Amino acid sequence: MTHPNEVLTRIDLHSPIPEALTAEIERRLFFVSPEITGFEVTADGGEVRSVTLRSEQPLPHDALTEKVNSMVDNDVRKQWVTPAKAVWTSPHQRTPHQDLFELLARTGAVTEVGEGQVALAEPLLSLFTYFDRAVCDLLAEDHEVREYQYPTLIRTKALETAGYFKSFPQHLMFVTRLRNDLDVYRTFQKQQAVTGIDSTVLDSCGNVDYCLPPTMCYHTFNQYSNRTLEAGRLHVVTSRGKSFRFEAAYATSLERLWDFTIREMVFMGSREDVLDSRERFMRKVFAFVEELGLSGFCEVGNDPFFCGTDTSERIWSQRLMELKYELRLHVAPGRTIAVGSFNFHDDLFGKVFGIDHGTDGPTRSGCVGFGLERLVYAFLCQYGLDTAAWPTQVRTAVSGSRP
């Protein structure tokens, strides 16, 4: 629905692209310009020929035409159109509850405290603990696991080494501070009292040696950098922590957050051991989801690479080689969210971080990550707030975890 004061700007594509690539356009449009407040992608006859951008003020048409077409031509057009490949589908079909987030807000279980930021209360806290413990227990059935609690901040150099700058510049968040200079502090205090905080404060800031982490595994690879791991065994590390990805636009719910929590498991070892462990753990998770009676599926996925010179090629390679699987659960009729991913990196991070596996050269690695807020939210969308309707093992675990 268009707001009466919104301005609409139609952007024609240089040439049409297949309608099947609509989602790849949509996941990038908000990053084209900060003035874009919404959009519609127009498809006709199986092809996308234009997009309509919404904004509060008129947009520079020629400049936006160049930027939108540059994004489409570089990141989307070259992608091969392939149907999503499902590797597992739940035998259960559930009808998700409508307007769940609004119900949670009315009961005080969630509170929006900022853009893409939500405070959680019961029953979400107990469910949060339950799902986190459950996936960790599944991992421990087959592996000797070492758990770490990492600091929130991660060195900017670690993300640069991992190639994050090239792959996902749209998600980066740098951390800085005022320079440790008495004159800087005094000037800041005087200006802030008069004008408040604005972007000019950055002129008084120091370095950007640290970032907010986009996920936990970069902490692990940075921690193990320049080491030689014992050969003949799989090294498994897990951690849980806050992760941050700037998404440019946030809807009211727990589906897409700026500040969220990931439980991550990292596998390091031989190629065969890493792939085998990923597969076995993935099947255990599917069985767990089925046991809970949840509705969803797992399919081959790809990361949201953006603005690189080889974006389309990397996306196609990820899909073709099945380097990434996404576990998706229903949160509304016909709509799912990814609550977990199962990834294989081959020797990418072993090479760049200098992690060797015995005398076999760079270690192979894989990781599994669960978005805990999303996992809890999907469960509640499917089962609602009436604990009597919850699966027995969840109800028992949650009631036992509350004081």
362 bridge partner residues: 356
Could you check whether the bond before residue 4 is cis, i.e. omega within 30 degrees of 0? no
What are the b/e assignments for 57-84, b being 16+ CB within 10 Å? eebeeeebbeebbebbebbbbebeeeee
Tell me the pLDDT band of 128, cut-offs 50, 70 and 90.
very high
Residue 232 — φ and ψ, nearest 5°? 80, 5
Provide the pLDDT for residue 298.
97
- Which tens digit of pLDDT belongs to each residue from 237-288? 999 999 998 877 777 789 989 999 999 999 999 999 999 999 999 999 999 9
CA-wise closest residue to 87 among 345, 341, 374 = 341
Tokens describing residue 69: 């077409």
Query: Which tens digit of pLDDT belongs to each residue from 191-236?
Result: 888 888 888 888 899 899 999 999 999 999 999 999 999 999 999 9
| Conformational region of residue 34, where left means phi above 0, alpha means psi within -120 to 50, and beta covers everything else | alpha
272 vs 166, more confident: 272
Mean pLDDT of the chain: 90
DSSP, residue by residue, 13-32: EEEEEEGGGHHHHHHHHTTT
pLDDT at 150 (0 to 100): 98
The predicted structure's pLDDT at residue 305: 47
Q: Is the pTM of this model over 0.85?
A: yes
Q: Rounded to an integer, what is the distance from CA 133 to the centroid of its chain?
A: 21
Residue 377: is its pLDDT beyond 90?
yes
